[in-house]
């Protein structure tokens, strides 16, 4: 299928008119047949641990099985795509939990070849990324794989050939990142979603930078809990740090620091203020500073 047709069909299925996507989803049977078929076919072409997941939300599946489509929120249905993770590490025969246990088995770092396959339009894309588990310093690290081995590249080529022979079109990241006003997804219900959002997933994208995040909430003396996320460029130079603090009151603060460690944004969420729950208040330091200087000049 050519890319012009893929865009046309994406606008048809994932536009503001939800009828096409409703008709498609309501035709699903959810009997595990497609999962078993994908698993069988991949096992036939590669000898690697594989994890397969269909992205539709569990409650949507439940309402369809119980024949209660009127209960479905058609602007919040999950992803109509398959995510297939293939472990590239040599000598590992079992994916275990696909998390800490697996990373430990892989000497701290797992290497993944992740394929995203649309269940709506015959196309796919893929990403190669790693996950490092550092128990001592309490963090995960995620980043792109830029040094594929010959064996890893061979695995990728086998899968690409197999999917092409099945009639699926490979989409690159540049094509996938295109946004269109007509496209909507769960997290982009006002429009302007990307092709990746609607065809594959709208809560992730290609791994292009390095991300570290704390594994466990850290308890502080005053009763608050604390966690953090850091973003680095590919040379592992810190770009941004985000700290999250949750208070016993139910309130929380998100603080964003720049490369110099200076605060650039603060977001406060109050559990209850007046009669309203979970209200957010945002302070952009630089924008506020610019506005203050503009008003004083």
Quick one: 141 and 216 in the same domain?
A: no
Quick one: 238 and 181 in the same domain?
A: no
First to last CA, the chain: 58
192-217 average pLDDT score: 94
State the average pLDDT for the chain: 94
- Tally of domains within the chain: 2
Quick one: 33 and 169 in the same domain?
A: yes
Looking at 205, 227, 243, which one is the last position of a domain? 205
Q: Are 139 and 155 in contact (CB under 8 A)?
A: no
Q: Are 207 and 144 in contact (CB under 8 A)?
A: yes
pTM over cut 0.85: yes
pLDDT at 297: 65
Looking at 184, 205, 226, which one is the last position of a domain? 205
Looking at 205, 225, 255, which one is the last position of a domain? 205
Quick one: 286 and 170 in the same domain?
A: no
Quick one: 179 and 100 in the same domain?
A: yes
Quick one: 105 and 119 in the same domain?
A: yes
pLDDT digits (tens, 9 = 90+) for 12-28: 999 999 999 999 999 99
pLDDT at 296: 75
pLDDT at 216: 87
Quick one: 34 and 176 in the same domain?
A: yes
Q: Are 60 and 83 in contact (CB under 8 A)?
A: no
pLDDT at 221: 86
pLDDT band at 222 (very low <50, low <70, confident <90, very high): confident
Strand spans (E) along 186-291: 193-194, 210-214, 218-219, 225-232, 238-246, 252-257, 263-273, 276-284
pLDDT at 41: 96
Q: Are 200 and 169 in contact (CB under 8 A)?
A: no
The whole domain housing 187 covers: 3-205
127-137 average pLDDT score: 94
pLDDT digits (tens, 9 = 90+) for 37-88: 999 999 999 999 999 999 999 999 999 999 999 999 998 999 999 999 999 9
pLDDT at 294: 83
- Taking 90 as the threshold, does the pLDDT of residue 162 lie above it? yes
Quick one: 30 and 74 in the same domain?
A: yes
Of the given ranges (54-58, 91-95, 198-202, 220-224), which has the lowest mean pLDDT? Answer: 220-224
């Amino acid at each position: 299928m050519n890319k012009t047709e893929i865009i046309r069909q994406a606008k048809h299925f994932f536009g503001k008119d939800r009828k096409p996507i409703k008709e498609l989803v309501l035709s699903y049977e959810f009997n595990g047949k497609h999962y078993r078929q994908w698993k069988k076919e991949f096992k036939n072409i590669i000898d690697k641990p594989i994890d397969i997941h269909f992205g539709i939300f569990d409650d949507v599946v439940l309402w369809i099985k119980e024949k209660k489509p009127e209960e479905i929120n058609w602007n919040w249905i999950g992803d109509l795509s398959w995510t297939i993770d293939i472990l590239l590490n040599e000598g590992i025969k079992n994916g275990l939990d696909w998390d800490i246990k697996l990373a430990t088995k892989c000497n701290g770092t797992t290497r993944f070849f992740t394929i995203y396959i649309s269940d709506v339009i015959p196309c796919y894309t893929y990403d190669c990324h790693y996950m490092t588990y550092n128990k001592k310093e309490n963090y995960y690290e995620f980043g792109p794989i830029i040094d594929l081995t010959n064996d890893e590249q061979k695995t990728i080529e086998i899968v690409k050939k197999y999917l092409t022979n099945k009639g699926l079109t490979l989409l690159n990241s540049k094509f996938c990142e295109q946004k269109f006003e007509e496209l909507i997804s769960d997290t982009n219900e006002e429009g302007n979603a990307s092709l990746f959002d609607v065809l594959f997933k709208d809560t992730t994208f290609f791994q292009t930078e390095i991300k570290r995040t704390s594994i466990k909430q850290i308890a502080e003396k005053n009763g608050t809990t604390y966690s953090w996320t850091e973003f680095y460029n590919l040379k592992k130079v810190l770009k941004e740090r985000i700290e999250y603090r949750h208070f016993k009151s139910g309130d929380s603060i998100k603080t964003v620091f720049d490369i110099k460690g200076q605060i650039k944004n603060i977001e406060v969420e109050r559990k209850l203020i007046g009669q309203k729950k979970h209200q957010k208040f945002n302070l952009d330091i630089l924008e506020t500073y610019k506005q203050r200087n503009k008003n004083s000049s």
